[in-house]
Structure 1
Amino acid sequence: MRKSVRYFIVGIIATAIVVAIVLLTTPHERRLRAEDILARYQKDVEYGRLTISYPLDETLFPPEIAAPTFQWEDNSGSDMWLISINFQDEKGRMNILASKSGWTPEQRQWHTIKKRSLEKDAEVTILGINRQSPAKIASASRIRIRTSKDEVGAPLFYREVNLPFVDAVKDPSRIRWRFGDISSLRQPPIVLENMPVCGNCHSFSKGGDILAMDVDYANSKGSYVITRTAEEMVLATSDIITWNDYKKGDGEQTFGLLSQVSPDGRFVVSTVKDKSVFVPMPPLAFSQLFFPVKGILCTYDSQARTFESLPGADDPQYVQSNPAWSPDGGHIVFARAKAYNLKDTEGKGKVLLTREECKEFTEEGKPFVFDLYRIPFNNGKGGTPEPIEGASNNGMSNFFAKYSPDGKWIIFCKAKSYMLLQPDSELYIIPAEGGKARRLRANTSRMNSWHSFSPNGKWLVFSTKAYSDYTQLALTHIDRQGISTPAILLEHFTAADRAANIPEFVNVKPTAIKKISEEFLNDYSFVRAGNEFFKAGDTNNAIQEYKRALELNPNNAEAHLRLGFLMYNARQKYKEGMAHYNQALKANPSDPRIHHDLGMALLHQRQFDEAIKHLSEALRRMPNGLDKQYNPVNMHFNFGLALTFAGRSEEAIIHFAEVVRLDPNNVDARYNLGQAMIRQGKPEDAIEHLQVVVRLKPDNADAHFALGVGLAGGGQHDEAIKHWSQAIQLKPDFTGAHSNLGIALARQGKLNDATEHWLHVIRIEPNNAEVHYRLANAFASLGKLDEAIEHCSKAVQIKPEIDTSPRLHDLLGMNYARSGRFQEAVQSARKAADLARAAGQEILAQQIESRIELYKQNKP
């Protein structure tokens, strides 16, 4: 099955017509029916004006995207709308009544829409009516949408910035980075935040294994971090370079903006010896003005750890900036313009210019335009720069070039002037070798910039301000001819108070990056060192590093957590381990890992109620787990065990069932789930799970035994006998299987076979009163008086209260009488009669009394 189709499968839910009708409040309104409204609608009739503002006509959606919000504007006086979707199949329309001018399909509806519109148009008609005059259609409009077979196939990494720009500069800790998939129903998780220094442009290598980012560190605006991607990433001192190291002796400072890592991750190219207009502006939406007016391109070789200017892009007469690599790393495209010295600038070492220094641009409106040039990289040796046809000498500013992953196309931004954050910025596409530029259909009405191709080259993400002053992300499909489709807004990607920019598709799993921390040589540095030893299984060195972290910061929760784990589990120093767990919890009570590990220790100590409290909190705080150590399968399983040990089988069933949902072949979960169901009196439900266990683990004697219990509880005694017999074959001294098999055989009248199994139990467990008593009954039925008396006596000696069977003593009386021992027969029969009456069996008691009279007459 192709992965693109899998996105449309929703459990076992049928894909029949889905009709979701908004409930109306008055009796009159409840009479409204979609079918009645549609019956009155005629396509060729002009109705009042209704404009569907989103999505646009002929919008193409990727198969994995979350549901959009359909939006429309209606000035006809309508206060109720019918959304009717007609598909190119024979399953009928989907109809929805809405009381607001916006509708977001429910998840099931959206899956149905995508499935039924896969590579086929679906016509969406919106009809407006007034509830006071429901017989009349007041307005109407329709669009066509379609779902592509082409997946996006990669998550997005992007930055969220608070506005206005000047506030973000004052407090960079409010800037944050998110990473997530377009299929998510929620906003992608924050992976980096609270960084006390500014972080700017970022880029990834082609394989997504290298992240490179502008950062401010050690008072150097030219600092740059290059690090490997991982679920838990730390921007450490060892990963930081500074572009100021290029020709450091000349005293000229560098900002190093708009850097890009090479596809193979070895090189980074950036603008150095730069000077830029980088100033705040009044409007909230466009609250900064940025473009370089001076600078050359420089490359950093991460293997040789050297900086070199890039010939062909290092001419000081020009500003050369905004580089982009070809997919094979063979060429670099960059923006170039004549370098400019502003009239009012002060000091050659100044990198960023003030608003006053830039008044030629900010107040006088002086234009500044860029052309796109290409040079061969040539392993850092560069070459002759060539203007790119269609993106140069056109009277416009051309910038932010991006190659398609197959190297066939270049998409770039074009605006009247300048570079970043231009209201009139639009996206254009040209052949990679140059040619006629074509405007993308996806362009929105206000600012289109910061674009990135998906790794498969089928989709392009970009930033737009068409719908909000706070920049949002949009998506468009790019086909083989370089034709784009109307923009899809990634509505749930941005918070209402943040602008999203610098989006980049990363060729990794959506869970590949979970947290990025900015740390230098402090207590966390030693924690990271300890973590590496921890992963390698080096307990001694790990403990040493965690203790060093605590010397710097006695309240480091991570160090306490790891020490707690190692002391408790690796060293078996339970008291010391618990002390660290409790210190970790005190330092960071919201960390679910601490609750989990503490809960597991308490479970080990059989403090079940306390264990349940912490394991429950861990699940509440990380319901989807965190990593391999804290994964939802193990977390639910361990919580189920704790509940089981606490005698809360009904609750345990929920968590074992969740493990089975996540991991259908988890035999431990299915075994415990089956056992819990049997304890809850649901043997039929248990059978399915225990059958899976014996299928996957046919040599598991315990599983065969448990399945036998379930089958017997469900009335399938012959099948139960087979599995108990199999359990005994696998484990000959399995007393539980022998005992149950004996009971089953006795019920079939096979008393001799039953006694063999029970006698086997007694040889292993001589004080098993229940089995002695069963043997007494069996031998009495078989007429073996001495054996019956022997086992009855032993059972009563071990457990006096077990002697409750009138049948046993009645049989003993009969056997005594047959042997001519009438006095003993009377005694046994009287006890049988007493037990029968105690059990409310009066008829049996009277029958026994009749036999007593015979025994008194020495008659058997």
Structure 2
Amino acid sequence: MRVIGASFILGIVMAVGMAVGCSAGGGGDKTPAGGTGGAGASGGQGGAGGDIFNPTGGMGAAGGTPVGGDVIVNANCKANCDDFPAEPIFDGVAPSNAPELFGAPDNYTPGLCIVEPHLGDSGKHGALFPANWLRVRFRVKPANNENLFEIRLKAANQTNELVAYSVSPVWAMPKEIWEAIGVKGGAIDQEIQVTIRGVNSQNPGTPTGATGTFTIAPVTAGGSMVYWAATSSEVTPTTSKLVGFYVGDETTIDALTVPQVQQGNILSEGGRDLRGKYTDPKGVPQGRAQCIGCHVSTPSGEEVGFTDHWPWNNVVSTIKEGKAGEVPAYFTAGAQRLLSQPWLGMMTFSKAIWGPGNRIALTPYANRNVDIGFTDSAGYGSDRLAWFDLETNASIPWTEGQSGPTNDAIKGAQGTAWGFLQTSGESQGIVAPNWSHDGQTIVYTSAGKSQDGRIADNVETDIKTVPYNNRQGGAVAPVQGAATPGVSEYYPSFSADDKLIAYNRAGNTSGKIYYRPDGEVYVVPSNGGSPIRLAANDPPACTGQTSPGVINSWAKWSPTVLGGVPNGKTYYWLIFSSARDYPGAFIVPPNQYSPPDTRSSQLYMTAIVRDAQGNYETYPAVYIWNQDPKTSNLTPAWDIFDIPPPPPPK
């Protein structure tokens, strides 16, 4: 008998621990473990490979240099492998006679619902995991008062089946076994069969059960994730924050909180006084950031750019360990003032346009009752696309009680410190831009009507592109397949190699865009083509939930793309938010800006894989179980964030 302590039982609140005892792996027909550098993404540089647990080489980020941790994983065992233990694993609570209560492995009737991971059956893919991902967790919904569960895993190259017994409907694979079959190459690139059965230990009868498959990819994923965690729509210093973790971490860390943000002198929309002097300061000092939302990483990974509370000014803040909240040294006072203008939108940056003397941010710039600058009246209509030099030496003075001199200075700096990209052929508003990694192209949402930097309600929205052209812009072009009349297409994002665009799609143009229940995540080639609906939109069928209807949104790509894999495939990873049901789900208290549906959301990861012939396959979603279920988790960003390491699990 193999006993795993109670720290391995994962309840509604994730309590996790490091397994001890028999080591996994060591026998069978094995070759040396380790990683191999793969071909870099488009515009990138291939890595040199190395030890997966201390990678000094790896895959090249698109347009950049090697990023450690992104490697191809070589299978280290072809047959007769012993990564799965011969003896069953008991959770420390399950009775010793559990095997007798279940009987033969095929002794069950259908009825148990396996929620995690989303398993494949009937020719459909199951979930696909990066080899270094958070260890696989199994969660079932009991059907008939089951209180004892058997988890059984089978892989073609393994001598034994992994068998575990747990009194909890949530169980995570011991970490040393997960590493053995994943990053050490013990069971990669093959379907792993999962069968879970449940009985009531006081009245066993015939077990209920279900079966299906998942796969571990022969590649790792790199980078770190930072997301917006909120407990209410009401703006206070404690109701929202940025939370982060690195791939594989079992805990998270607060990356940035509202009180940490040090940038000051943020003005009200009229520009005559500090925000919060004559309005509710939302619990922070006058002129300070009130909310952290719609954030993106700067290309260095040391800062985030985010949109503040009304009137939607923009802020850039450090998140680096020991410096969270500091104003970056390059972010000049003039640039801070320019980006504190009201009614801006989500910022975007490009690695190719980022370095000393050339740090540029792009953002929508809403219409107003003056041409540019501060004003008390928000405009409606067609937002423009503006660029801002974060290192400008322009002086933008401010005197309390006056906005005229400040607006005059803003006008005088136009063309040198900031300005507008030409968008020839665009008659609609420009919202939610995303800049390609090679710095050549901006993809954005073209909205029939925009509202103070946001997409207005009940309007046509399409995905279009415009060239950057050294701040000059150019002719706008719709993305074929993502600019369909009568359909809402919005929130686009370039993949790390700029070959794909992920975006949201809803079947009509009625209602609010933000947090639409009928929103789904699609992918289209960046040069246009047939849109691809992701399998990750759909919850497991046994849950009774369907999409559209679970608020799938905010898809963002991993920071690297792995090519050059021996199987001929290229692996893309994607993170997104969804309000599908989960333990601990709640209704987020709304405010005047809230959408009609305020179900809490959580984060999910998924894969898109291109084969050697250029065909794409998509996979079901993987719930990211280290996140806090007591916060609604949205607007994720997956990049090379330089955040502090999260603490070890307790």
Q: Report the TM-score, using the length of structure 1 for normalisation.
A: 0.49
Find the counterpart in structure 1 of residue 273 from structure 2.
none
The answer to whether the 8 A contact 1:68-1:491 is kept is no
**CA-CA distance at 1:321 after TM superposition:** 1.1
Relative distance call for 1:77 and 1:392 in structure 2 (3 A) is same
1:259 counterpart = 2:291: no
For residues 147-178 of structure 1, give each alpha carbon's deviation from its aligned partner in whole angstroms, at most 9, with x where no partner exists: 11221111112221222x1x2x2x14432112
Matches within 5 A, 1:443-458: 443-444=537-538, 445=547, 446-457=550-561, 458=572
Letter aligned with residue 371 of structure 1: D
Relative distance call for 1:50 and 1:496 in structure 2 (3 A) is closer
1:86 counterpart = 2:154: yes
The answer to whether the 8 A contact 1:85-1:95 is kept is yes
Find the counterpart in structure 2 of residue 200 from structure 1.
293
Find the counterpart in structure 2 of residue 367 from structure 1.
458
**CA-CA distance at 1:209 after TM superposition:** 5.0
What is the CA–CA distance in structure 2 between the aligned matches of 1:234 and 1:245, rounded to whole Å? 17
**CA-CA distance at 1:223 after TM superposition:** 4.1
**CA-CA distance at 1:237 after TM superposition:** 8.7
The answer to whether the 8 A contact 1:215-1:225 is kept is no
Matches within 5 A, 1:814-853: none
Partner SS state of residue 111, structure 1: helix
Relative distance call for 1:436 and 1:138 in structure 2 (3 A) is same
Partner SS state of residue 293, structure 2: strand
Alignment partner of 2:574 out of 460, 485, 501: 460
Matches within 5 A, 1:101-120: 101-114=169-182, 116-120=186-190
Larger Rg: 1
Matches within 5 A, 1:691-770: none
The answer to whether the 8 A contact 1:409-1:432 is kept is yes
Alignment partner of 1:470 out of 600, 618, 630: 600
Alignment partner of 2:244 out of 171, 179, 190: 179
Relative distance call for 1:158 and 1:133 in structure 2 (3 A) is closer
Find the counterpart in structure 2 of residue 800 from structure 1.
none
Greater share of strand: 2
Find the counterpart in structure 1 of residue 65 from structure 2.
none
Relative distance call for 1:408 and 1:492 in structure 2 (3 A) is same
Relative distance call for 1:31 and 1:500 in structure 2 (3 A) is closer
What is the CA–CA distance in structure 2 between the aligned matches of 1:241 and 1:304, rounded to whole Å? 9
Letter aligned with residue 19 of structure 1: P
What is the CA–CA distance in structure 2 between the aligned matches of 1:247 and 1:79, rounded to whole Å? 56
Relative distance call for 1:221 and 1:399 in structure 2 (3 A) is closer
Letter aligned with residue 579 of structure 2: K
Unmatched 5+ residue regions in structure 2?
Answer: 1-32, 37-50, 54-72, 75-81, 120-125, 261-283, 285-289, 369-378, 394-416, 539-546, 562-571, 586-598
Letter aligned with residue 98 of structure 1: S
Letter aligned with residue 635 of structure 2: I
What is the CA–CA distance in structure 1 between the aligned matches of 2:192 and 2:245, rounded to whole Å? 28
Matches within 5 A, 1:499-648: 499-508=632-641, 512-514=642-644
Alignment partner of 1:491 out of 617, 625, 630: 625
What is the CA–CA distance in structure 1 between the aligned matches of 2:144 and 2:181, rounded to whole Å? 28
The answer to whether the 8 A contact 2:129-2:215 is kept is yes
Relative distance call for 1:82 and 1:113 in structure 2 (3 A) is farther
Letter aligned with residue 148 of structure 2: M
Find the counterpart in structure 2 of residue 272 from structure 1.
365
Letter aligned with residue 622 of structure 2: I
For residues 252-303 of structure 1, give each alpha carbon's deviation from its aligned partner in whole angstroms, at most 9, with x where no partner exists: x63212111222332111111248xxxxxxxxxxxxxxx9854111111235
Relative distance call for 1:102 and 1:179 in structure 2 (3 A) is closer
What is the CA–CA distance in structure 2 between the aligned matches of 1:130 and 1:488, rounded to whole Å? 28
Relative distance call for 1:292 and 1:117 in structure 2 (3 A) is farther
1:141 counterpart = 2:207: no
What is the CA–CA distance in structure 2 between the aligned matches of 1:477 and 1:177, rounded to whole Å? 24
Higher RCO (C-alpha under 8 Å, 6+ residues apart)? 2
What is the CA–CA distance in structure 2 between the aligned matches of 1:83 and 1:270, rounded to whole Å? 50
The answer to whether the 8 A contact 1:454-1:460 is kept is yes
1:424 counterpart = 2:536: no
What is the CA–CA distance in structure 1 between the aligned matches of 2:648 and 2:528, rounded to whole Å? 51
Find the counterpart in structure 1 of residue 24 from structure 2.
none
For residues 693-727 of structure 1, give each alpha carbon's deviation from its aligned partner in whole angstroms, at most 9, with x where no partner exists: xxxxxxxxxxxxxxxxxxxxxxxxxxxxxxxxxxx
**CA-CA distance at 1:54 after TM superposition:** 1.6
Relative distance call for 1:39 and 1:226 in structure 2 (3 A) is closer
Partner SS state of residue 383, structure 1: strand
The answer to whether the 8 A contact 2:366-2:453 is kept is no
Letter aligned with residue 624 of structure 2: L
Find the counterpart in structure 1 of residue 7 from structure 2.
none
Letter aligned with residue 186 of structure 1: T
Relative distance call for 1:221 and 1:408 in structure 2 (3 A) is closer
What is the CA–CA distance in structure 2 between the aligned matches of 1:492 and 1:81, rounded to whole Å? 22
Letter aligned with residue 81 of structure 1: F
Find the counterpart in structure 1 of residue 275 from structure 2.
none
Q: Report the TM-score, using the length of structure 2 for normalisation.
A: 0.63
Relative distance call for 1:292 and 1:440 in structure 2 (3 A) is farther
The answer to whether the 8 A contact 2:445-2:461 is kept is yes
Relative distance call for 1:242 and 1:433 in structure 2 (3 A) is farther
The answer to whether the 8 A contact 2:112-2:141 is kept is yes
Find the counterpart in structure 2 of residue 21 from structure 1.
90
Relative distance call for 1:226 and 1:376 in structure 2 (3 A) is farther
What is the CA–CA distance in structure 1 between the aligned matches of 2:579 and 2:174, rounded to whole Å? 27
Partner SS state of residue 194, structure 1: helix
Unmatched 5+ residue regions in structure 1?
Answer: 276-290, 342-350, 516-620, 625-860
Q: CA RMSD in A?
A: 3.6
**CA-CA distance at 1:244 after TM superposition:** 9.8
**CA-CA distance at 1:33 after TM superposition:** 2.0
Identity %: 20
Alignment partner of 1:302 out of 367, 378, 390: 390
What is the CA–CA distance in structure 2 between the aligned matches of 1:37 and 1:75, rounded to whole Å? 16
Partner SS state of residue 56, structure 1: coil
For residues 656-695 of structure 1, give each alpha carbon's deviation from its aligned partner in whole angstroms, at most 9, with x where no partner exists: xxxxxxxxxxxxxxxxxxxxxxxxxxxxxxxxxxxxxxxx
Find the counterpart in structure 2 of residue 816 from structure 1.
none
Partner SS state of residue 110, structure 1: helix
Matches within 5 A, 1:668-687: none
Relative distance call for 1:496 and 1:78 in structure 2 (3 A) is closer
Find the counterpart in structure 2 of residue 47 from structure 1.
109
Relative distance call for 1:231 and 1:149 in structure 2 (3 A) is farther
Find the counterpart in structure 1 of residue 411 from structure 2.
none
**CA-CA distance at 1:182 after TM superposition:** 2.9
Find the counterpart in structure 2 of residue 75 from structure 1.
143
Relative distance call for 1:241 and 1:175 in structure 2 (3 A) is farther
What is the CA–CA distance in structure 2 between the aligned matches of 1:431 and 1:407, rounded to whole Å? 9
Aligned length: 458
Partner SS state of residue 475, structure 2: coil
For residues 52-81 of structure 1, give each alpha carbon's deviation from its aligned partner in whole angstroms, at most 9, with x where no partner exists: 122111111122222343122232454322
The answer to whether the 8 A contact 1:211-1:227 is kept is yes
What is the CA–CA distance in structure 2 between the aligned matches of 1:24 and 1:245, rounded to whole Å? 60
What is the CA–CA distance in structure 2 between the aligned matches of 1:231 and 1:131, rounded to whole Å? 51
Relative distance call for 1:385 and 1:179 in structure 2 (3 A) is same
What is the CA–CA distance in structure 2 between the aligned matches of 1:376 and 1:448, rounded to whole Å? 29
Relative distance call for 1:326 and 1:16 in structure 2 (3 A) is closer
What is the CA–CA distance in structure 2 between the aligned matches of 1:214 and 1:240, rounded to whole Å? 18
